[in-house]
Every structure is written in structure tokens, then in C-alpha cells.
Amino acid sequence: MRTVTVLGATGSVGTSTLDLLERAPEQFRVLALTANCDVERLAAAAVRTRAARAVVADETCLPALRERLAGSGVAAAGGAKAVCEAAAMGADVTVAAIVGCAGLTPVMAAVGQGGIIALANKESLVSAGEVVTAAVARHGATLLPVDSEHSAIFQCLDPRHTKRVRRIVLTASGGPFRDRPREAMAAITPAEAVAHPNWSMGAKISVDSATMMNKGLELIEAFHLFPVAPDQLDVVVHRQSVIHSMVDYVDGSTIAQLGTPDMRTPIAVALAWPDRMETPGAPLDLATVGRLDFEAPDPIRFPALRLARHALEAGGARPAILNAANEIAVAAFLAGRIGFLEIAAIVEDTLERFDPAAPDTLDAVLEVDAEARAIASAGIRDERVKDRVF
């Protein structure tokens, strides 16, 4: 029986993880569950799974959590430090599903225990790739990807022949606006942007998919996960989301991982690795799918992908700046403070204004992140940044 901690248990990845854990109680025992402040869902999940501990990152929510868990036998805790303590409980598998750079410090706490980190928090590798991978090596931890694209690569990549890889191709659905003319994209609303055509995801990740920033972040993440150079990473738009990614070898063979668009599949790969476990996902029926379409992403309508590739090639602090500015811009868009096309404009402006030395420690990464957020926030109020969209 494996022990499991789920960081971000009430988000889309967290709830999918809990669904799998609850279907296999003979295989997994839950140590800790964390959430930001969704007390009801967190407490209910903790009681159902008989978790040892439940933690809210927002400490003001702790009294409500304690009240909800009274008499259940589940310990309650609150605050950022408590989240890191939960991450450091020494679970066999820690599912890192906190969205955004807020998940970085808990990921590092889990890495320090040397277990398996099932990484759904792409921002950890985007903002602090060298720092995280160095810590993984130092502590003997195992990093397994949970993103569907990176899980697909992990399953297709032959570890004996990594030098024979010609390129890695990440697939992208193209999001809900893949056919919308650029002149019509200025009027896109948050409600439209979070309505992904294929996947059920949280609001921030859905917006990233709509701008294609998610695919840019995944390029950077893939660079740190797999032994390839930046110019060996490519993106292709695949509308059906059936092929999740591909590995192209020098002999002309291209190996792809296929499946229905269900996050429980890549989560299950990480939970059971190196074994396989059953999931309730529907089996793939290619006859029903009928066709698989592919096209190159449009760099004019989706500049975020270009910005991410440039950040990857430049290295240093550029990916951390990109990620921080994007989080600020997406939050402003969801709050109705900026338009859809201004997200990439704010990211680009922040990258132009801020170019510090490469961070080599977690504290240095967090300093870059904080400064980039401040600059991006100022850009939201700057009409000149908005003007560059048009």
C-alpha cells in the first residue's frame, strides 16, 4: 500500500486524483490533503479518505475547517507553513496540484523527502527548473509528470535511447478560439475563455489554453523533464485531443500515446508507476473518433507561444518572469480588468522591462517572481501597454 499526499486536493487535478484513490482503497492510504480555502470540499474529502491531516493555505479558514472536522479524527492545520509541513510528511507519492507559483515551495518540501513527486504544477519547473531538478537529484526523489502531454512523452520515451530522439512533439487542442479571427478576439469574455472544448480544467489553466500560453509553459517544462535541447521541442495543434504527444526518433519512427481526454489517465500513470492501475475512463474508440487533424499553431493570433519559446531559449530568469507576469495578467483578465489580447501584451512588456541575473536558489526565484509580478501589475494600469495590442 502506498501513502499519498495531495497538494491542491479541491482543484480539477486534485478531485480527479481523489476519485482514483477512493476507487482503490486497498492500494493507497491518504496522509494529507491541502486546499486554499474550500473548507467544505476539503473536509468532506478528508473524511471520506480517512486522511491523517487536512490543511488550508488561507489561515483565516482554519476555524471553519476545525469545526467541520470535529470528531472525525482528521487533524486540521492552516497557513503556508502548514502546507509545506504536509508536503514534507514523507508520503510515498505526493501529487503536486497547486496551481501557479504558490505550489513551488510545497513542491520543494516534498522533494526534500526523496519520494515520488507526481507533478501537475508546471510552474515549479517553469520558474525554477534548475533549482528543482538539482534538488531532485540531491535528495534521490523521482519526478513523474501528470500533465497529459508530458505523461505521454514519459510513456513514449525509451530511456535506453534518449540520444536517438530527433524531436518531441507536444500536441495542443488549440483551445476554444482556434478558429476565431484575431480582430474578434479582443471581445472574448472570461466565461468564453474558460469553456474548453475538450478538457475539464480550472479557470487559470483554461485561460492559458485559450491563449496557448499553457503550451509555451509545457515546452519549458519538457526541457527540464526530458534530455533534449530547446530546438528539439515542437508543438502541433491537434483538435481532437486523442494523441497527447509524440516522440520522433532518428530512424523515422514516431511513437505516440493516445487516449480519451481524461486527466485520470496520466494521474493513474504516476500513482501506479512502474505498474498500471485501472481507471473509469472510457476506452478509446478510433472508429467513432473517425479522423485525427493536425495543423501548425498560428503565431499571430497566439503570441504567447512565441514569448514562451523565446524565454526558453534565453534561459536564466526569463521563464520565471514569463510565468509570473502571465499569472498576474490572467487574474486581471478573469477579474474583468483587461481584455483577452492584453494578457500576452502585459507578459511581453514585463519581459522587456525586467532582466535580472539567473536565480540559483529558491529564495532568488521567489524574488524574481515577486518583482515580475509588481512590474506586470503596473503594466495593467499603463495604457501604453494596452495600446501595443493593436
**pLDDT at residue number 387:** 64
User: Kind and range of the H or E element at 144?
Assistant: strand 142-145
DSSP single-letter state for residue 68: H
Cα-flanking dihedrals φ and ψ of residue 242, to 5°?
-100, -45
**pLDDT at residue number 384:** 67
| CA of residue 185 relative to chain centroid, distance | 25
**pLDDT at residue number 386:** 65
CA–CA distance from 339 to each of 153, 188, 332 (Å)?
34, 7, 9
Whole-angstrom distance between the N-terminal and C-terminal Cα of the chain? 57
**Residues whose CB falls within 8 Å of the CB of residue 275, separated by 6 or more in sequence, listed in order:** none
What pairing do the DSSP bridges indicate for beta strands 254-258 and 243-249? antiparallel
pLDDT above 90: percentage of residues in the chain: 84
pLDDT in tens, 3-59: 999 999 999 999 999 999 999 999 999 999 999 999 999 999 999 999 999 999 999
**pLDDT at residue number 196:** 66
What is the grid cell recorded at 276? 498500471
Q: How wide is the angle at C-alpha 168 spanned by C-alphas 305 and 292, nearest 5°?
A: 80
Res 202 pLDDT > 80: no
pLDDT in tens, 75-123: 999 999 999 999 999 999 999 999 888 899 999 999 999 999 999 988 8
H helices, E strands: number in the chain: 18, 11
Cα-flanking dihedrals φ and ψ of residue 165, to 5°?
-85, 130
pLDDT in tens, 358-380: 999 999 999 999 999 999 999 98
**Nearest Cα to Cα of residue 116 among 277, 271, 276, 275:** 271
pLDDT, mean over the chain: 94
Res 199 pLDDT > 60: no
Question: What is the C-alpha separation between 361 and 381, in angstroms, rounded?
Answer: 31
Give the residue carrying C-alpha cell 489554453.
209
Lowest mean pLDDT among 153-162, 199-208, 233-242: 199-208
pLDDT in tens, 274-301: 999 999 988 999 999 999 999 999 988 8
- Across the range 261-265, mean pLDDT stands at 93
Give the residue carrying C-alpha cell 483554461.
206
**Domains and their CATH numbers in the chain:** 2-146 (3.40.50.720), 150-289 (no CATH), 315-387 (1.10.1740.10)
- Across the range 149-178, mean pLDDT stands at 93
Half-sphere exposure of 38 toward its Cβ, with a 13 Å CA cutoff? 16
Q: pTM of this prediction?
A: 0.92
